[in-house]
Amino acid sequence: MASIDKVAIAFSIAIVAVGVGFAFYAGEVQNNAPVVSAPVMTKTEMPKMQAPTTTEKTVKIKEEVKIEEKPSVPVEEPAVSVEESSAPKTVSVTIPTGTSSPGCETSNACYSPESITINVGDAVEWKNTDTAAHTVTGGSPSDGPSGVFDSSLIMAGASFENTFDEAGSYDYFCMVHPWMVGNVQVN
């Protein structure tokens, strides 16, 4: 074999060795890169021995009241016409500053007030006094939106109003900050 062939073979082997060395070095650099993973939210089951919710308490009290009802004696109404319900009203609920960070749920201060009672035909206006955008979405974080009402994003300083035309209990939450929950009881 000519010496030029030997030199070419040695040169080729050197190029391959440098390439393999570089590949190992690059692979090692990638393995030493910091690993960043996105937080994962998991659905946790609440223990069965938790205190009953406001809605459950209300239903239980209504059932007890129905059981204890006594037959009523018909009373003759006077001929005076009196309107039974007042004109529809609007109740304000504030979305306070700082509710975009967890912690307000420990004192039920994510919506102020957290729970309200109104009459059929009344409206509720949610005012966002926080610097972050929020939603007022019918439903719950665990079950998702109910489809009854949804504000979409309420920007800082804006408000959303919804009129309740049917009696019932309406839970709501913020889809952006799921620790924010509230309730509207409509009589």
What stretch of H or E contains 21?
helix 3-31
Supply the pLDDT for residue 125: 97
The CATH number fitting domain 88-186, selected from 3.30.360.10, 2.60.40.420, 1.10.510.10, 2.102.10.10: 2.60.40.420
Cα 146 from Cα 40, distance rounded (Å): 24
* Strands 123-128, 90-95: pairing kind: parallel
**42 Cβ partners below 8 Å, 6+ apart?**
none
- How far CA 149 is from CA of 91, 102, 162, 185, in Å, comes to 16, 24, 7, 14
Query: Residue 64 — pLDDT band, cuts 50, 70, 90?
Result: low
Mean pLDDT of the chain, nearest integer: 81
**142-146 mean pLDDT:** 94
Question: Looking at the predicted structure, is the pLDDT value of residue 77 above 90?
Answer: no
Cα 50 from Cα 179, distance rounded (Å): 18
Query: Residue 155 — pLDDT band, cuts 50, 70, 90?
Result: very high
Question: Looking at the predicted structure, is the pLDDT value of residue 76 above 80?
Answer: no
For the whole prediction, is pTM greater than 0.75? no
List the domain boundaries for the chain.
88-186
